[in-house]
Amino acid sequence: MAERRRVGIMGGTFDPIHMGHLILGESAWDEFHLEKVLFMPSGNPPHKVGRKGAANEQRTEMVRLAVEDNPHFELSLEEMYESGYIYTKKTLRRLRIANPDTDYYFIMGADSLLAFDTWNGPQEICDQCTLVAAVRDLMPMEELDREIARLRDKYHADIRKLHTPNLDISSHTIREWARCGRSIRYYVPEKVMDYILESGVYGEL
């Protein structure tokens, strides 16, 4: 029997995409022997209603710039539509029907994992993919382990821990820094930094 394909999904608002997202994607590719990682900007995330920030086209363009020179990263527009909210369970359902030979690895930070019970259809998500969780916000490793164990029990989920260090970086901080003229170099890829500075997307130049 042919071996099944393994594909990672890095979902997010990516407003903007930053080194934290990229390191998570690269580490998951490496640690779980993934064929590729899909970077999937969300068109209308239900947990960010009333979001101000970059437009969908701008977030998408920054993701494109960030992933274009990595041969195993890919921009996916699977969640980039605007009518209604975007739900991971539906995305997974569509992808699995279109690619029945593929197992999906959904990559997330600990903050997302802590909110997982509030996602739409957590059971259905767990039934359809492997979850990959990375530490964040200086959460003690034991706390992340406890949360993983709890979700494993509750949803019979396949959850793996990603072995990345705590990466103290967020889109929120980058937006703030760009707005007040503080340097964001090295927190985002150079091409993304140039895009932010040239477009003035997060405020006055």
Residues that bind ligand ATP (CB under 6 A): 12-15, 20-21, 24, 108-109, 111-112, 134, 136, 167, 169-172
Q: Which position's Cβ is nearest ligand ATP?
A: 109
Q: How far is the CB of 58 from ligand ATP (least distance, A)?
A: 14
For ligand ATP, the closer CB: 112 or 128: 112
User: 99 Cβ partners below 8 Å, 6+ apart?
Assistant: 5, 7
Give the pair of three-digit tokens for residue 14: 């990516």
Rounded to whole angstroms, how far apart are CA atoms 94 and 8? 15
For ligand ATP, the closer CB: 95 or 134: 134
Q: How far is the CB of 62 from ligand ATP (least distance, A)?
A: 11
**DSSP states along 136-190:** -TT--HHHHHHHHHHHHHHH---EEE---------HHHHHHHHHTT---BTTB-H
Q: How far is the CB of 131 from ligand ATP (least distance, A)?
A: 10
Q: How far is the CB of 76 from ligand ATP (least distance, A)?
A: 14
Q: How far is the CB of 40 from ligand ATP (least distance, A)?
A: 10
For ligand ATP, the closer CB: 2 or 185: 185
Up-side HSE of residue 97: CA atoms within 13 Å toward CB? 5
For ligand ATP, the closer CB: 95 or 188: 188
Q: How far is CA 133 from the centre of its chain?
A: 11
Rounded to whole angstroms, how far apart are CA atoms 198 and 205? 8
For ligand ATP, the closer CB: 20 or 189: 20
